[in-house]
Amino acid sequence: MDKFKIILFDGVCNLCNSSVNFIIDNDHKNVFKFTSLQSEKGIDLLKKYDLLDKNIDSVILVENDKAYVKSDAALKIAKTLGGKYKLFYGLIILPAFIRNFFYDIIAKNRYKWFGKKDSCRIPTLELKSKFLE
């Protein structure tokens, strides 16, 4: 599993599900696996990286046995996607508190702006291999 980078996402958030679809469509190196924060595997990973009690409901990237959250996770994902998306990684030069200020505004309003599902995403048979559960 170490060769894969794991993305934990909010399975009931429309923005998050759209982001997962975008990453799947642009993951030409096939390095990402996904699990929702609400899944059993997601909860196990939150416990493993001591994030369960930290009320983290944003995207989390697990890479090389380290967990990245918020803008750090998003920028590392963009860098891994490569091509024009890796240009976003240049924003890493901004202090995290500035990047996360804007990240948190979007995260706080994601249900209001983008909507919410009643259940977690269920992958098609074709995409099932991209998901851990």
Q: How many CB atoms lie within 10 A of CB 31?
A: 12
Which pLDDT tens digit goes with each residue over 94-115?
A: 999 999 999 888 888 877 887 7
d(CA 71, CA 48): 21
* pLDDT higher at 25 or 10: 25
Among candidates 23, 88, 16, 106, which has minimal Cα distance to 59? 16
Mean pLDDT (the chain, rounded): 85
Quick one: pLDDT band at residue 1, thresholds 50, 70, 90? Answer: very low
**Six-digit token string for 67:** 């967990």
Residue 91: the pLDDT is: 94
Which pLDDT tens digit goes with each residue over 28-49?
A: 999 999 998 888 999 999 999 9
Residue 74: the pLDDT is: 95
End-to-end CA distance of the chain: 13
